[in-house]
């Protein structure tokens, strides 16, 4: 196994599937299937899921809600997704723990680094909900920070695009994909991989990132076994 402990970042937006809002249960099931394949390989899995399908802090300002309040609403949105994912994973026979950046004791544990690592060692899938627990951050930053804290081998950013391109492939048909790229090249070329806070955290801590297409069946399990899928970003 190339990666023994992974942090998988899933976007909240992708959970909508074809819907305009909320959670598409078929996408949830698809994620559970893909995660199960990796679990069966003996990989330790931590997951951060976004909240963009329900609420984003930046969107709050436009509707007259205070930004900080909006960010907390966004964090709670990620927790709703995390609970849905937890349920889907458990229905597919996996053991899980949900750890939250905001204390909500009736539904999840608070994030405690040592405890998170212990869960992973025991074979439980750990989902980090409610982001870092602070406004003005994103779930990408949460993914980077938690990955470093739990000593993950890599951050796997599952998207609907199969890697990092020279330009946005959904807008520019001449865009080509990078198989490998360095952190500094991403800066120089001004490519978007994650927000800068998240990206810098990974770079400074020498934590590789792989951007890959999460919607293609088998991609995740091939990746952890070392197949070159998506784009690998390293120092």
Instruction: Compute the least distance from the CB of residue 62 to ligand UDP, in Å.
Output: 13
The nearer residue to ligand UDP, 57 or 230, going by C-beta atoms, is: 57
Q: Is 57 annotated as a binding residue?
A: no
Q: Is 99 helix (H, G, I), strand (E, B) or coil?
A: strand
Q: Using CA atoms, how far apart are residues 227 and 211, in angstroms rounded to an integer?
A: 13
Measured in degrees and rounded to the nearest 5, phi and psi for residue 220 equal: -60, -45
Residue 109 sits in the site that holds ligand UDP (CB under 6 A): no
Q: Is 135 annotated as a binding residue?
A: yes
Residue 157 sits in the site that holds ligand UDP (CB under 6 A): no
* Near ligand UDP in 40-59, by CB under 6 A: 50-52, 56-57
Q: Is 101 annotated as a binding residue?
A: no
- Cβ pair 76, 100 in contact under 8 A: no
Which is it for strands 5-10 and 154-159: parallel, antiparallel or unpaired?
A: parallel
Instruction: Compute the least distance from the CB of residue 158 to ligand UDP, in Å.
Output: 10
Residue, CB closest to ligand UDP: 50
Q: Is 168 annotated as a binding residue?
A: yes
**Within the chain, where are the H helices?**
25-39, 57-62, 67-91, 113-121, 139-149, 183-188, 196-204, 219-224
- Other CB atoms within a 10 A radius of the CB of residue 1 amount to 13
- Encode burial over 173-182: b for 16+ CB neighbours within 10 A, e otherwise: eeeeebeebe
From 117-125, 129-137, 163-171, 218-226, span contacting ligand UDP (CB under 6 A): 129-137
Residue 131 sits in the site that holds ligand UDP (CB under 6 A): yes
Instruction: Compute the least distance from the CB of residue 142 to ligand UDP, in Å.
Output: 5
Instruction: Compute the least distance from the CB of residue 199 to ligand UDP, in Å.
Output: 14
The nearer residue to ligand UDP, 133 or 222, going by C-beta atoms, is: 133
Q: Using CA atoms, how far apart are residues 210 and 159, in angstroms rounded to an integer?
A: 10
Which tokens go with 93? 């026979």
Residue 75 sits in the site that holds ligand UDP (CB under 6 A): yes
Integer CA distances (angstroms), 140 to 114, 211, 218, in order = 21, 12, 23
Q: How many residues bind ligand UDP (CB under 6 A)?
A: 23
Interface ranges with ligand UDP (CB under 6 A): 11-13, 50-52, 56-57, 70-71, 74-75, 77-78, 131-132, 134-135, 137-140, 142
Annotated binding site for ATP: 9-12, 52, 56, 159, 165, 168
């Amino acid at each position: 196994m190339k990666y023994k402990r992974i942090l998988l970042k899933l976007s909240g937006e992708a959970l909508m599937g074809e819907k305009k809002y909320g959670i598409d249960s078929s996408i949830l099931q698809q994620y559970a299937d893909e995660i199960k394949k990796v679990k069966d390989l003996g990989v330790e899995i931590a997951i951060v899921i976004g909240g963009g399908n329900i609420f984003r802090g930046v969107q709050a300002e436009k509707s007259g809600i205070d930004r900080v309040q909006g960010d907390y609403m966004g964090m709670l949105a990620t927790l709703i997704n995390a609970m849905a994912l937890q349920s889907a994973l458990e229905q597919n026979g996996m053991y899980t723990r949900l750890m939250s950046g905001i204390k909500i004791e009736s539904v999840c544990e608070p994030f405690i680094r040592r405890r998170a690592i212990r869960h992973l060692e025991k074979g439980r899938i750990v989902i980090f909900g409610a982001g870092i627990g602070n406004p003005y951050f994103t779930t990408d930053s949460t993914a980077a920070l938690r990955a470093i804290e739990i000593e993950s081998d890599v951050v796997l950013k599952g998207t609907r695009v199969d890697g990092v391109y020279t330009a946005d492939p959904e807008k520019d048909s001449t865009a080509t994909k990078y198989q490998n790229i360095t952190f500094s090249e991403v800066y120089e070329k001004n490519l978007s991989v994650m927000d800068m806070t998240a990206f810098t955290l990974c770079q400074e801590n020498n934590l590789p990132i792989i951007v890959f297409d999460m919607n293609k069946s088998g991609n995740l399990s091939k990746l952890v076994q070392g197949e070159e899928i998506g784009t690998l970003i390293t120092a």
